[in-house]
Structure 1
């Protein structure tokens, strides 16, 4: 057996188990939880929710979030905006909102402790200052745009189905050509690893999204607030998995009908900022991390290269080589088909050259490379802060 034949067989051995796993996960799609719909508040929901919004120099994009929260009904007892000493006037914008809606309060967190990441520290501060009369704590990111009826719809569904912690995937607003091409490929790394939003995974594989993160107060009290995720750059996933391991019922649902988000400006910022946490290494064991890297390499990183090599005749002739190429053609076809499945999760009304969205499968090798790069990154810059090294896995000691 020569080198090219060994390569062909090696690729088959690597890819076939990954393809089987992918198909198993995608087949859960038709049985996923229905998307959250806007609802009107019921009288018994009066004052049951405290909303916490962490901010750091967010003035340019905070207003849609504040406006959306003012349009929530009486189920929201208070909105605590925890500002980490912004220098761009973020606090002034909050105070302007508070002058019109007394539910809003501006808080400033204490200096960041050395063993904390900024975002969970701000959320922890908000939790500690929230009213003990609120049964639910809802974390909302500053870049989100909540629709009327979001909070009521989320609370009603969570209580009706007995959930203790629920987070929502949003509808992403894309504008620039590069992000229309790259962002869906990065999102697909999550779909491939964890299945469609709203499907059920084991406790150590549950997904979460901190942009809209609802938790019963008693859950955070048992977990001592956000201390279990204090050193995690994916504190949402870390906290959700720890809660699931403790026996709480955790869900991750489609929130596109009630929540939009404008995350990053352009492809480079998307690559830098979102890519830093997509590997989820702070919420994942080393074995799971390596397994995920093998899996993404097999189903996202390889298909285009294998197809190109097949076209130029780099593989030896024979049924094995043809089978290998056909398998990767099938993977590419599945990936293009999934573009239709995730399309409702995008708002392209403001996009320039939105057609690039449909060519995002061609960015899949880059998406895999970004996950690989982030998985071994030890120094992270985030929101103007530099963290010299990750301070251990966010789940250690929390079992």
Structure 2
């Protein structure tokens, strides 16, 4: 058996493994379920916000519509240069549950979001701390469901990847990349059931903690210099034997993450290598496998082998779309463009690493 055929079997096997992972994620239904009655423990909803005047109204509207009465909402205006502060002042005057403050200047060795979250936790008085990003929205039942899931599974952290709402062609090209990578590479039930930090995942857009455990461990301070704080926090938790679960948002947690191709490129390029255990070498090897597999399999096995490969690839994409609650037709149609976007993101990520710096929300960051 020559080297080309061996490579073909490896690439085909890797696709089958990824499809099995996608199947596990699809059939395990990793969503919040209907809530049973829970006592109304106090929840502090904590929002780090830097230059979020466009996103905050949608988030705040959903938070104030929650069917869970015992909440306080704190927003940290993280040195914004837009109209975030004046917008928050207006909303604060309408509802006593909402309060905001201007964050302190960023100290050395901290990233902006970690420092904002650290300050928010110091303000919070709740039994639970829910950190959410300004670009998400919650259904009225989302918090009740999340607390019920948290308690029934005896968790230290519950994190949710929001359902992505996409309106423009540019969003359909860029945004599906995140769930495609997540659901191809990580069986979500393993995050809860495996202690190995290899199975670490989280999304900083929605992270629910026990306040007692958070204050004892100061999770954001532990990873204060990390730009992908969510994954690093889970790695620390797993090393400490804590229980973590990761779900998909379905209709309960959703967002319009990026509204343009350029926003998606800048956002994903900061940390795409973290999908591959923080290794850019693994990222490039993964990309090479994706790009070369069709030609290599065709040369080794002919048209019949190529058709088998294509069928499994389509099944993989269908399963990811189904689990993500995305349009199957749109997902299949845009898959080649999603792979082009991944290529662009990977190249940009490597360029940022070579230069050791990038920009995010007007701040320079080390990559």
TM-score scaled to structure 2, two decimals? 0.86
Cα distance in structure 1, aligned partners of 2:269 and 2:189: 19
CA positional deviation for 1:185? 3.6
Cα distance in structure 1, aligned partners of 2:190 and 2:65: 26
Cα distance in structure 2, aligned partners of 1:197 and 1:366: 30
Structure 2 vs 1, CA of residues 112 and 305 (structure 1 numbering), >3 Å: closer, same or farther? farther
Is the Cα–Cα contact under 8 Å of residues 46 and 76 in structure 1 kept in the other structure? Answer: yes
**Alignment of structure 1 residues 214-225 onto 2, 5 Å:** 214-225=208-219
CA positional deviation for 1:328? 3.1
Matching residue within 358, 366, 369 for 2:343:
369
- 2:310 maps to what in 1? 329
**Alignment of structure 1 residues 64-79 onto 2, 5 Å:** 64-74=58-68, 76-79=70-73
1:11 corresponds to 2:7: yes
Is the Cα–Cα contact under 8 Å of residues 15 and 313 in structure 2 kept in the other structure? Answer: no
Structure 2 vs 1, CA of residues 171 and 87 (structure 1 numbering), >3 Å: closer, same or farther? same
> Which string of whole-angstrom CA distances, capped at 9 and with x for unpartnered residues, describes residues 124-180 of structure 1?
11012212xx22110011011111121111011110121110011212111111221
For structure 1, the 5+ residue unaligned runs are: 347-353, 391-399
Structure 2 SS opposite 1:243:
helix
Is the Cα–Cα contact under 8 Å of residues 36 and 154 in structure 1 kept in the other structure? Answer: yes
Structure 2 SS opposite 1:111:
coil
Is the Cα–Cα contact under 8 Å of residues 32 and 199 in structure 1 kept in the other structure? Answer: no
Structure 2 vs 1, CA of residues 12 and 155 (structure 1 numbering), >3 Å: closer, same or farther? same
Deviates most, 365-374 or 135-144: 365-374
Matching residue within 90, 102, 113 for 1:119:
113
> Which string of whole-angstrom CA distances, capped at 9 and with x for unpartnered residues, describes residues 47-77 of structure 1?
2x11110101111121010111111245543
CA positional deviation for 1:186? 4.2
Is the Cα–Cα contact under 8 Å of residues 103 and 116 in structure 2 kept in the other structure? Answer: yes
Structure 2 vs 1, CA of residues 61 and 23 (structure 1 numbering), >3 Å: closer, same or farther? closer
Is the Cα–Cα contact under 8 Å of residues 172 and 263 in structure 1 kept in the other structure? Answer: yes
CA positional deviation for 1:46? 3.6
> Which string of whole-angstrom CA distances, capped at 9 and with x for unpartnered residues, describes residues 336-379 of structure 1?
42354145157xxxxxxx96443122124324424533553232
- 2:101 maps to what in 1? 107
Structure 2 vs 1, CA of residues 343 and 84 (structure 1 numbering), >3 Å: closer, same or farther? closer
Matching residue within 19, 24, 27 for 1:28:
24
Cα distance in structure 2, aligned partners of 1:303 and 1:96: 55
- 2:140 maps to what in 1? 148
Cα distance in structure 2, aligned partners of 1:120 and 1:221: 14
**Alignment of structure 1 residues 1-399 onto 2, 5 Å:** 6=3, 8-9=4-5, 11-12=7-8, 14-29=10-25, 32-37=28-33, 39=35, 42=38, 44-47=39-42, 49-74=43-68, 76-131=70-125, 134-195=126-187, 200=192, 202-280=196-274, 284=277, 286=279, 290-291=281-282, 293-298=284-289, 300-306=290-296, 310=298, 315=299, 320-321=301-302, 325-326=306-307, 328-338=309-319, 340-342=321-323, 344-345=325-326, 356-370=330-344, 372-373=346-347, 376=350, 377=353, 378-387=356-365, 389-390=366-367
Structure 2 vs 1, CA of residues 369 and 359 (structure 1 numbering), >3 Å: closer, same or farther? same
CA positional deviation for 1:272? 2.1
**Cα RMSD for the two superposed structures:** 3.0
Cα distance in structure 1, aligned partners of 2:343 and 2:85: 38
Alignment: residue pair count: 361
Cα distance in structure 2, aligned partners of 1:73 and 1:98: 19
TM-score scaled to structure 1, two decimals? 0.80
Cα distance in structure 1, aligned partners of 2:133 and 2:253: 11
Cα distance in structure 1, aligned partners of 2:302 and 2:97: 65
